[in-house]
Structures are given as structure tokens and as C-alpha cells.
A and B are shown apart, each in its own frame.
Chain A
């Protein structure tokens, strides 16, 4: 039997451009805030799981080499994890595994990026394609997701407005989140429709900003939790699935890897009807339309019903299954920290500490992430009650 594990402390930095902090400075700030959040000292942490997205974004390499001390990893085990955009989720899951294994009692998960250190992050993204058989024609992440969007919209009779509705919902939610980068008052569908068409069918409004941010979560074993906090977020399940890329008959609008991850996560958490049994969901919506596709992958609705679920209002802050009350990745995207933000936001919702965007009475919350060629999916489900 694996050890039961809870999140006991969370530290976030605000998503914005940070010329006042170096990369180690950014990591240290998130770590310091996580320690203060739960009253632990750096010597109380047994091991560190460390993440950072493709280094090309910052023109650096192997940053755990020179950021280790900033995250308290001096004469301690440090494990680097790397899965592209979902790295923060993979790091959180790795930290959970380290504690669940019984080999460590208190483990730090930390991940971040400073995307503003280049004006050419999308060139970096081109290098994540096969150099001989694929990168010649793409234009970074937006073009790949635009292809996904074209397929999704045409397959189910939806249109650009369905993605823009997500943008309007999440940008309005972000007004309540001090850690979000895009906090634009009076954000309307009309305004979103008037933003430039950058990668048809995606407009500027459909896309995330580039942020500098780090996120930290501290995971503790059951027998240590009580002494640290009386308000933990218990890990009910943690699942990572790689969907593969350009596999035979891939349907970009149907994320079978996410569906598999969701089914495993629900089974392990004892959830039969996710729409009813989850109280809030945070998905990695780097582009608006993806939120609709993730609704379907996560079984909040059937295949092809994502646009209609959005239209119904169910995923708004006051709906029966709120999605991205924080504003999501669409309002803050450092890449390295983003998938961990989804998990940390879900954990904060369970703790009742999400602030102005808290959903009342949350007992179970899900945090998602994706990375790579829209292929690496991570899911964590947190609960108020010990499993």
C-alpha cells in the first residue's frame, strides 16, 4: 500500500515580466512563499523535484545545476523532470510519487520559466519538432493548436465564437486572481472578435500571454501532515499519460490520451460521475478552444459536446462544474509553472483558500496539464477528506 499524501504548502509568484529577478531569484521566491505558507524550514524538506520547460526559451541549459541552492537542494536529492508544457504537472506527480513510495516524507515540487527573456519563444518551440520531418512548416505552438481547432470546429459544426466564449469567461475570472497576468476589465465577446486573426481560426484573444513565473508545492506523508497543517489537500489520484504524436489515425480533436488519464484518475479516486462529483476543474487552456476539447477528454460531457457545455454556462464560476475560476493558462502562461498552477489552484480550492475566485464548498478538485505535441497529459485530483 502506498503512503497517503497531502499538499501542505503552496507558493506562487505573480505571472508577469520580471526584470527584477534572475531565474534562481524567481524559483527562490516561489519556494520561500511555499515554506511560509506551511511554516516549514528549508531543512524540513527531504528531496526536490525540479522542473523547467524547454531551455531554448531562455537560451540556458540544465538550469537545475545553478538553481539548486535557490530551491533548498543543497546536499539533498534533486530530480529533474521534463515533459514540455505539462512539466509542472509531471513535477508535482513525481514529488507525490517520492512521498507515496515511503522513501521520503516531505518533498518540494517546483517549476518555472522566464519566457520574457527572449522575444522569439516560438522559434524555440519550432525546435521541439522532428528536425527533418516536421519543423519546416509549423509556426510554433499556435499553428499546431490552430490545426486542432480547425478540425474540432468543422467536425462538430462549431465556429470561432465557441473558443472566444472560453476566452471571455476565463479573462473575466482572472480579474479575481492577483497571480494572473491578463486582467482586462470589461472583456467582451465583441472585443474578442475584433482582435487580429493570427493563426486561422485562432485570434489573439484565443491565445495565452508569455509570463515569467514559478510555482511550488510541498507534499507530505500522512504521518507528518497533522503536525504541519490542519487544512491539507489530500491527493486522491495522480496520473500521467503520453498520447504519442502522429500515430496512426490520430484525431487531433479527440484526445484519447487525456481520456485514458481521466478514466484512471477517476477510478483511483472512486469517482463515477465526474460532472457531479468534482466541484471545480482547472484545465491547461493555453489556447481557448482547447478548454472545450478537454471538457470532452475529461468526461465532463460526451465527445463533441464541449461547445454546447460552454454555451450552457455550466463551466462558469457560478455553474455546476466551474472550470478555470483562476482564469487558467489563457491568462497566465510561463509554460514551466503553468501545469503546476493548475494543480496548485485545485489544491487551494479544496483548502478553501483560493481567495476571490474560491468556489464555495469544494470537496474535490481536478488539475490538468498538457505538453509536447498536444500529447503529454497530467491529472491530479485533490480531496478535502483523507482517502
Chain B
């Protein structure tokens, strides 16, 4: 084929969605919003506690029906200090950097919660640190994970 000018078509796509949080997810988020409390759910078969609560315990394939109230402290399981420009899919605008992504295991729970940690100096971060949730003021809370502003290191 003879050489030709190579074209491409540019398009921006913007599609609105509504995602159902489900019953457990809704209970979790309303308690977070209204009371500033974390709830998880416990599997009756193996006793493991899930947070956020979920519809099934994977290993047992059993609904973890028992609702468990958890405290606001936990352990930093691992983390990364994100330092590259990244468009936040929630807002469509650039998220301020650096920020720290943490995987947090709340006390009394057997899964982790991903959230922000308010420390961006890698020298001050290490797996195993104790952390505590910092909630937004009640009037700013809307029933999403961001009702927790971030976790702060407490030791």
C-alpha cells in the first residue's frame, strides 16, 4: 500500500453511573456518616471479620451475618507514597501529590481498608505502624469512604 497521511479521531467520553452499595455497604456507610463508626461483619463459620462488610466469606462461602462494631484504630499493613500526577476518577481533576495510600487493618478485623495516611515522608513510614482514623465533621459527611479524612500515625 502507498504511503498515506495517518489520521486519528479524538473523542472525550463522559458517562454518568449510579452504583448500588447494597445492604451491607449501605449499613456500613450510613453508620460511618451518622455516627462516625466502622462496622464489619463476622463469618459464623470461621469467625473472620470483614471490613467493609461483604456478602460472603470467600473461604467458607457463608454470609457473614453478624454485624460487628470496630474501633477507629488499627495497623498500617503496607503503603505507597504516590508522587506522580494522577487524574482522580471521582473528580476528573488531578489529585494533589505527594499523598500516601495505605492498607489499614482495623483492630479486630481480618481484611484491610485502603485509605489515605497523612504522612508522606517514606522515612517515617513502615509496615506495622499504629494508625487512627480522622473523621470529617458531621456536617461534611455524605455516606462515602471519604467521610474519613485520612488515618494518622499515633505512635
- A residues near B (Cβ < 8 Å) are 19-20, 59, 120, 122-123, 126-127, 131-140, 142-143, 146-151, 154-155, 196-202, 244, 246-250, 252
Contacts and interface: CB of A to CB of B under 8 A. Distances in A.
B47 to A, nearest CB: 10
Contacts of A151: 77-78, 127
B89 A126 contact: yes
Nearest to A252: B78
Given A143-B80, A147-B101, A200-B80, 14 more contacts: A122-B87, A123-B87, A123-B89, A126-B89, A132-B145, A133-B145, A139-B84, A149-B80, A150-B125, A150-B127, A155-B127, A199-B83, A200-B83, A249-B48
Given A148-B78, A247-B111, A139 B86 contact: yes
B38 interface: no
A335 B17 CA distance: 26
Contact of B83 (A134, A198, A249): A198
B25 interface: yes
B80 A249 contact: no
A19 B89 contact: no
Contact of A136 (B17, B86, B90): B90
Contact of A201 (B48, B95, B122, B145): B122
Contacts of B52: 133
Contact of A137 (B57, B84, B115, B122): B115
What secondary structure prevails in chain A residues at the interface with B?
loop
Most chain B CB within a 10 A radius of its CB, from A59, A131, A134, A136: A136
A187 to B, nearest CB: 21
A136 B127 contact: no
B83 A132 contact: no
Contacts of A247: 58-59, 111
Contacts of A197: 81, 83
Contacts of B86: 122, 139-140
Interface string B64-77: 00000000000001
B117 to A, nearest CB: 10
A145 to B, nearest CB: 8
Contacts of B82: 139, 142-143, 146, 198-200
Contacts of A201: 80, 122
Contacts of A127: 89
Contacts of A131: 17, 19
Contact of B80 (A19, A155, A199, A246): A199
A5 B55 CA distance: 41
Nearest to B3: A20
Contacts of A142: 80, 82, 84
16 contacts: A19-B6, A122-B86, A123-B87, A133-B25, A136-B90, A147-B78, A151-B127, A154-B78, A198-B83, A199-B82, A199-B83, A200-B80, A200-B83, A247-B58, A248-B46, A250-B111
A150 B89 contact: no
A19 B8 contact: yes
B101 A137 contact: yes
